[in-house]
Amino acid sequence: MSTRIRVLIAKPGLDGHDRGAKVLARALRDAGMEVIYTGIRRTPEEIVEAAIQEDVDLIGLSILSGAHKKLCQKILNLLKEKEADIPVILGGIIPEEDIPELKEMGIIEIFTPGASLKEIIEKVKDIAMGRKV
Amino acid sequence: MFEREKIHVIEKSKKEWEEKKVERTLSRFPERKKEFVTSYEDEIERLYTPLDIKNLDYIKDLGFPGEYPFTRGVQPTMYRGKLWTMRQYAGFGSAEESNKRYKYLLEQGQTGLSIAFDLPTQIGFDSDDPMSEGEVGKVGVAIDSLKDMEILFDGIPLDKVSVSMTINSTAMILLAMLMTVAKKQGVPYEKLRGTIQNDILKEYMARGTYIFPPKESMKLIVDIFDYGSKNLPKFNLISISGYHIREAGANAVQEIAFTLADGIAYVEAAVKAGLDPNEFGTNLSFFFNAHNNFLEEVAKFRAARKLWARIMKERFGVTNESAMKLKFHTQTAGSTLTAQQPLNNIIRVTIQALAAVLGGTQSLHTNSYDEALGLPTEQSVTVALRTQQIIAHEMGVSETVDALAGSFAIEKLTLDIEEKAQKYLEKIDEIGGMVNAIEAGYPQKEILNSAYKAQQRIENKEQIIVGVNEYNSDKTEKIDILKVDEEQEEKQIEKLKNLKNQRNNSKTEESLTRLKKAATNGDNLFPYIIECVENYSTVGEITNILKEVYGEYRESTTI
């Protein structure tokens, strides 16, 4: 098994604003990780399928359209169904009050506007290395 | 602009000033930063003087407002005659809710409407499509059929209020709906005023609401130009948009270069289809971003006007002066708003709006202070609209035309941006035009590089963002956030079901069949789409027919 951290960055739903996702993907790659970016408008099924096939250590979702609750729940359910134990983090415009519910659902970490790349990279490393151990 | 002898004296004096004054000051007090740079990473000079604009020819490079090359504005008297249109982008939830918000904004003195559609409507999915789950009514209003559109404009006289619609790949369908509502209100097509965004190329580059492959999308746009220039003389048939290109991370030069390159692609396509740029050229409009660097932004608007006038005149041989004018809407930069200390956003928006006004915009949207957190509330959108009204009526900046002209810094930045954008245009010509460049991923890559560098400048604190990487505070400001009713989606699906039971389904089917035949034959689709809309076909049904003929586009992802 490769020691390099493998991450899937995905944009579920219909929103096409992908600046955050792409900038983060590049930053993670510059930090030495292997990054797969799905592109925009992927269904939960496509994302889970890609994550399993690519054997990633972590899935990073980017959602800005307000559809985060439904989309996250779907993705987490599918992962459970497929018995894929892959941690999921989320970034985007996520109202403060939705955060407890999303964490309860099983989203490990949530980053909102203003989060620094450094902070996210550190968190991704921690979570992914935890899974590798 | 200056006599050679005087220039020589200034040059000598400047040198002395640098050697005597500046160096001494620097040795005692070093400057705050090692490098001061523009968004496009040019060094910003400590001081601009006549030396920087010594080759500027007033008549050739600036001229007078309302006169070629329109650097100083597209109308001779600008805001002394008529203020810019205050047009807040709005829409959420159902047609009923959005209709209420529009009436509220008009009561508050807004002078035009700007419709935000939800993502399913923008991408051609009905509210009951599995792809729409969770997205219905979220970032804009949900429109499935003419029925919704009738509710959206209920009590809004379409001969008096101009309507801008941010809609691209499904633009023809939504425009057909607007025209049908107007007809029902007794307003003839010729009187209908407004704008459809209808700029698909930037969707592939920056915003992502494309459906069909680029070439098929371009055909739809040419169809709109063709039918629209004959039937909708007062309507802007496209709003060529740099706004989203900038939001995706482009710098100021890339914003105008890629936008104008898109513009060139549309004009070329239309000319190829036999249309006359002297005619349809007057129905083109643009949409730019007002970002943070105030001077750079003012210069950007001036440079864009000058470049476009030259492109229309020299490249397309346009002789009608109206068709050379770059008219534009501006929105303040959403991506500069912070979720931290949200009230600070009011200040950011104010200064960005001022740049747009001093840059000569024809129409303006000011962002609401809560937009890094959610959709605007009634309170936040009112403050945003009042910001425009205060700038218009209290600050005196609308009393004279292009007030910053002649500033050494502004003129130098205008020249620089023009020159750098011109280089990009040449590069895109080399690649074979914007459609090819997009297919090759060229602008996407340039934009991502700029976005990444901008983020790094923030991480390294070379760029300070108040409340984010400096001057943070543990205290959180409590502000109200607009929540879209989660049950709204079910209600919309219910409405759609009722529609399908009530309409004359065989007539709907017939018009859809005719549309398919027209698409296969390569006919102008506009009359067929109008017929489908009049028979209450849904956005999803119409789009699916076209997907069968045209196929769907999937991006190749580059990071």
Residue B131: DSSP 8-state: G
Neighbours of B436 (CB within 10 A): 14
Instruction: Assign domain A6-129 to a CATH class.
Output: alpha beta
Residues of B in contact with A93 (CB under 8 A): 339, 372-374
Q: How far is B449 from chain A (nearest CA, A)?
A: 9
Q: In chain A, whose CA is at the least distance from the CA of B472?
A: A114
Q: Would you say residue B503 lies in a domain?
A: yes
| ipTM of the shown complex | 0.93
Measure the CA–CA gap between B374 and B382, rounded to whole angstroms: 15
Determine which of A7, A17, A70 to mutate to test the interface with B (most B C-beta atoms within 10 Å): A17
Task: Decide if B248 and A29 are in contact by the 8 Å CB cutoff.
Answer: no
Task: Mark whether B261 and B398 lie in a shared domain.
Answer: yes
B523: domain range?
A: 496-550
Task: Decide if B339 and A112 are in contact by the 8 Å CB cutoff.
Answer: yes
The two tokens of residue B202 are 């930037």
**Which residues have a Cβ under 8 Å from the Cβ of A76 and sit 6 or more positions away?**
A88, A105, A106, A107
State the pairing for strand pair A109-111/A58-63.
unpaired
E-strand stretches of A11-119: 34-37, 58-63, 88-92, 109-111
Task: Decide if A23 and B207 are in contact by the 8 Å CB cutoff.
Answer: no
Task: Mark whether B395 and B509 lie in a shared domain.
Answer: no
Give the global pTM.
0.95
What are the beta bridge partners of residue B290? Answer: B332
Number of domains making up chain B: 2
Measure the CA–CA gap between B349 and B344, rounded to whole angstroms: 9
On whether the CB atoms of residues B482 and B369 are closer than 8 A, the answer is: no
Q: Would you say residue B533 lies in a domain?
A: yes
Residue pLDDT, tens place only, A2-29: 679 999 999 999 999 999 999 999 999 9
Helix (H, G, I), strand (E, B) or coil at A121: helix
Measure the CA–CA gap between B526 and B302, rounded to whole angstroms: 35
Chain A interface includes B245 (CB < 8 A): no
- CA distances B187 to B113, B158, B318, Å, are 17, 7, 32
Task: Mark whether B290 and B419 lie in a shared domain.
Answer: yes
Helix (H, G, I), strand (E, B) or coil at B244: helix
Q: Would you say residue B472 lies in a domain?
A: no
Residues of A in contact with B338 (CB under 8 A): 113-114
Task: Mark whether B422 and B335 lie in a shared domain.
Answer: yes
SS (H, E, C) B527-547: HHHHHHHHCCCCHHHHHHHHH
Residue A9: DSSP 8-state: E
Task: Decide if A93 and B374 are in contact by the 8 Å CB cutoff.
Answer: yes
Task: Decide if A70 and B455 are in contact by the 8 Å CB cutoff.
Answer: no
| Dihedral pair phi/psi, residue B115, rounded to 5° | -95, 125
- How many beta-carbon pairs below 8 A join chains A and B? 107
Q: Would you say residue B380 lies in a domain?
A: yes
Q: How far is A13 from chain B (nearest CA, A)?
A: 7
What are the beta bridge partners of residue A111? Answer: A91
Q: Would you say residue B238 lies in a domain?
A: no
Residue B280: DSSP 8-state: H
Q: How far is B256 from chain A (nearest CA, A)?
A: 18
Residues of A in contact with B555 (CB under 8 A): 39-40
pLDDT tens-place values along chain B, 559 residues long? 778 899 999 999 999 999 999 999 999 999 999 899 999 999 999 999 999 999 999 999 999 999 999 999 999 999 999 999 999 999 999 999 999 999 999 999 998 899 999 999 999 999 999 999 999 999 999 999 999 999 999 999 999 999 999 999 999 999 999 999 999 999 999 999 999 999 999 999 999 999 999 999 999 999 999 999 899 999 999 999 999 999 999 999 999 999 999 999 999 999 999 999 999 999 999 999 999 999 999 999 999 999 999 999 999 999 999 999 999 999 999 999 999 999 999 999 999 999 999 999 999 999 999 998 888 999 999 999 999 999 999 999 999 999 999 999 999 999 999 999 999 999 999 999 999 999 899 999 999 999 999 999 999 999 999 999 999 987 777 888 888 888 999 999 999 999 999 999 999 999 999 999 999 999 999 999 999 999 999 999 999 999 999 999 988 766 6
Residues of A in contact with B129 (CB under 8 A): none
Q: What residue segments make up the domains of chain A, in order of their start?
A: 6-129
Q: Would you say residue B120 lies in a domain?
A: no
Q: Would you say residue B521 lies in a domain?
A: yes
What are the beta bridge partners of residue B331? Answer: B289, B365
The two tokens of residue B466 are 């108040």
Chain A interface includes B22 (CB < 8 A): no
Residue at a domain's end among B447, B464, B481: B464
Handedness of CA B55, B57, B60, B61 (dihedral sign): positive
